[in-house]
Amino acid sequence: MPPRKKPFSGKAKKQQLRDKRAKKRDAHDSDDEDARATEAMAPPAPQPAVGCAPCCLIFVALAYVRIVVSAQVPSGRGDLRTIFRKESKAAIDARKKDATRGLVYAEDRGDSQSIYAYGIQDPINQPRILTKPKWSRDMTPEELNGVDDRAFKEWAEYLEQEATNREDGAQLNLYERNLEVWRQLWRVIERSSVLVHLADARCPLLHISDQLMTHIRTKFLWKRMVLVITKTDLVAKDRVEQWSTYLQARYGHDIPVLAYSRDNVDESNATLMRTIGRVSACIEHHGLDDDPSAEDSQKDTLTIGFVGEPNVGKSSLLNSLFDRKLVSVSATPGHTKHLQTHYYERVEMLERTVGAVSRALVCDCPGVVFPRFNVPVLLQILFGSFPIAQTREPFSAVRFIAENCVPHLHEVYKLKPVEEDDDEWCPYTLCESYAQLRGFRVKGGKLDVHRAANVLLRDTLTGKKVVLSFPPPTAESLQL
């Protein structure tokens, strides 16, 4: 018979919780020692100068983080979690202070060119990506790992040097720092005869990697590429056509540009497979460098790789193509953890007239956040390459939405100021009003503005209530 339960006072319960927290802190002390030592060696976080333009606050975090964590190494073998740099508390606090500044609406909202002030249209802002180093079949697994590790370290040092040499002071974005994720991309490139590069129709230039396309076109001359614009159901048809025309002119006619619509899946699938069949018809069959005896390297099998940044719709397109839930889908960036391969039996859709194939192997690559200069965290949050759940300062992203969306954000959600004397909106008051509307409160009864901000960001990312899209750059924006 179990012993009788003894009374447990509130005071004893509080002491139990204190002891539990103390034990947890002691357990993490050894893990945090290296991080504290690295931070102690770093210079203090840069502060924006008095009178500095508000947009400069966006890059304070990146400037500091680049110094502090440049010595980080990729995670252990087989760990495919996306690794980003951690922003400093000082930089985040600086951006939080800007949350109460009034909104400054962009000119020609809905057709605004404001996003191109960050230079996303300029190839010079895309540094070299991490490519597979040279290797030989005589190497042992340990030697191969050593070669990859050295290549990763040299590449990271190259990026830091490029950032240091920039005369405009532009900082690197939060790019992929896990070597294992890059290895997945290398594997897909090696295996595939046709690579399908996907980009979000709301602003494709934020997702297309010029460096990846150049690498494939110059190092793998026999491979072919197709550029697919996804999520076109969120954008007006004429804007999708504008982007198709612009991208075709930008990358040349040897790379077909297609618009994939979920509203017309059958036609989109037929067009995609027919295009893949056409561009692959003239491909010379090459064996795989690392496994020439692999089954899918046979001449009667066409391997198709889907690549791109996180959250551009690779897995969703794959499910639509196979007409069933083949892989899981999530709005969280990096949901696809491993390279996935599936045989596509409807090869007649390729409409190959030369060099018929008996089957097609489709490879779904995990999303890779490519390095870019001058792309702030807020754009990565809004367009899906940084997890909203990890966002420590959401107000700068809310500001960008409110200053560029049509109609006004407070009109979309029918918001009213919490304080009657508020005569202008700012990111904080928008989140405050939405928190009151939804009843979001923290312990003590205060409005939970951070939860409200995260909901606004998710609604924008999924296109639930707000669709933030931009037209192709004009001649004027190209000169910025």
> Beta-carbon neighbour count of residue 253 at 10 Å?
8
pLDDT value of position 73: 45
Phi first, then psi, for residue 371 (nearest 5°) are: -70, 140
CATH number at 377-472: 1.10.1580.10
Residue 39: band (very low, low, confident or very high) from pLDDT cuts 50, 70, 90: very low
- Predicted confidence (pLDDT) per residue in 302-318, tens digit: 999 999 999 998 888 99
| Residue 299 pLDDT > 70 | no
Cis peptide bond N-terminal to 133, omega within 30: no
CATH code for residues 179-364: 3.40.50.300
The 10s digit of each residue's pLDDT in 215-254 is 999 999 999 999 999 999 999 999 999 999 999 999 999 9
286-295, 329-338, 386-395, 440-449: which has the minimum mean pLDDT? 286-295
Q: Are strands 194-200 and 224-230 parallel, antiparallel or unpaired?
A: parallel
- C-alpha 218, offset from chain centre: 25
Q: Where are the domains of the chain?
A: 179-364, 377-472
Q: What does the alpha-carbon distance between residue 188 and residue 469 come to, in Å, rounded to a whole number?
A: 30
Tokens of residue 473, six digits: 């750059």
